[in-house]
């Protein structure tokens, strides 16, 4: 009798296991189909959205995104809004003005900075090179930072970048971190020295607005010194065109 009961229980357990495996298989298939439909829907939305607007809320660029930018985007995108842009009516306009060829003791090259970035929350504006794209990040609908990188058709290394960081805590500024300073266009510019870390080259400019509620750091990051030396005249040309405030 015990043997019969054991065999019956064994058959029941095998049946239950087969039913469970079947349910798991069905669940996997349904999940796969659902994710496939969702992926197709997102692709359709991206295609239709890009046709109606040149400023979208998804990062999309043929140029590789710098490693440090990927880290920033990974953290900030969890709580804030990151926008991608090229030339659009409300943010960028062509510029034909001729700018003097020196700034802060550096030779500058203005020949390629023929686009203008503008935003309205802090009234930030700056010229940037042709064939470059930008990503601007907002926290509580106020600009928090902008990154410019070479886009498709640019002659520069795609790992080159210009970061404009909003500094709301003005009291944290340390003059000792910068080598020289001068006043221009109702702002004070503090120039940092070129720094090389594991081959990567950076240089920062701190902009004190004095009467404005925020300061700014404009930082150039280059994957190597050769590319940095090539781009430095353009970097300081961009810095000279920077403005913010009311």
pLDDT per residue as tens digits for the range 185-233: 889 999 999 999 999 999 999 999 876 789 999 999 999 999 999 999 9
Record the pTM: 0.62
Q: How many other C-beta atoms lie within 10 A of the C-beta of residue 39?
A: 10
pLDDT per residue as tens digits for the range 166-178: 999 988 899 888 9
What kind of architecture, by CATH, is found in domain 56-241? 3-Layer(aba) Sandwich (3.40)
Query: Nearest-CA neighbor of 180 among 190, 194, 171, 168?
Result: 190
C-alpha to C-alpha distance for 18 and 22, rounded to whole angstroms: 6
Q: Are 239 and 189 in contact (CB under 8 A)?
A: yes
Q: Where are the domains of the chain?
A: 2-52, 56-241
φ, ψ of residue 212 to 5 degrees: the values are: -95, 155
What's the confidence (pLDDT) of residue 22?
A: 61
Local structure of residue 174 (DSSP, 8 states): -
Residues sharing a CB contact under 8 Å with residue 204, sequence separation 6 or more, in sequence order: 178, 192, 217, 218, 219, 220
Residues in the chain, total: 246
What's the confidence (pLDDT) of residue 67?
A: 47
Band the pLDDT of 43: cuts 50, 70, 90. low
């Amino acid at each position: 009798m015990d043997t019969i009961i054991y065999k019956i229980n064994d058959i029941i357990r095998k049946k239950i296991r087969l039913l469970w495996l079947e349910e798991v298989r069905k669940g996997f298939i349904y999940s796969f189909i659902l994710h496939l439909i969702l992926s197709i829907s997102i692709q359709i939305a991206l295609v239709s959205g890009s046709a109606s607007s040149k400023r979208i809320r998804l990062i999309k660029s043929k140029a590789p995104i710098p490693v440090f930018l990927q880290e920033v985007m990974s953290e900030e995108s969890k709580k804030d809004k990151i926008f991608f842009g090229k030339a659009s009516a409300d943010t960028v306009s062509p510029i034909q003005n001729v700018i003097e060829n020196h700034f802060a003791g550096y030779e500058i090259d203005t020949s390629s900075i023929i686009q203008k970035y503008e935003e309205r929350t802090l009234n930030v504006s700056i010229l940037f090179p042709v064939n470059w794209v930008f990503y601007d990040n907002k926290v509580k609908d106020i600009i928090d930072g902008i990154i410019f990188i070479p886009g498709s058709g640019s002659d520069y290394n795609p790992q080159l970048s210009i970061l404009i960081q909003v500094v709301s805590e003005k009291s944290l500024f340390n003059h000792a971190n910068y080598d020289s300073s001068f006043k221009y266009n109702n702002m004070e510019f503090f120039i940092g020295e070129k720094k090389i870390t594991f081959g990567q080259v950076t240089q920062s400019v701190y902009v004190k607005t004095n009467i404005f509620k925020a300061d700014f750091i404009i930082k150039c990051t280059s994957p190597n010194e050769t590319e940095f030396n090539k781009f430095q005249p353009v970097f300081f040309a961009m810095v000279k065109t920077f403005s913010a405030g009311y």
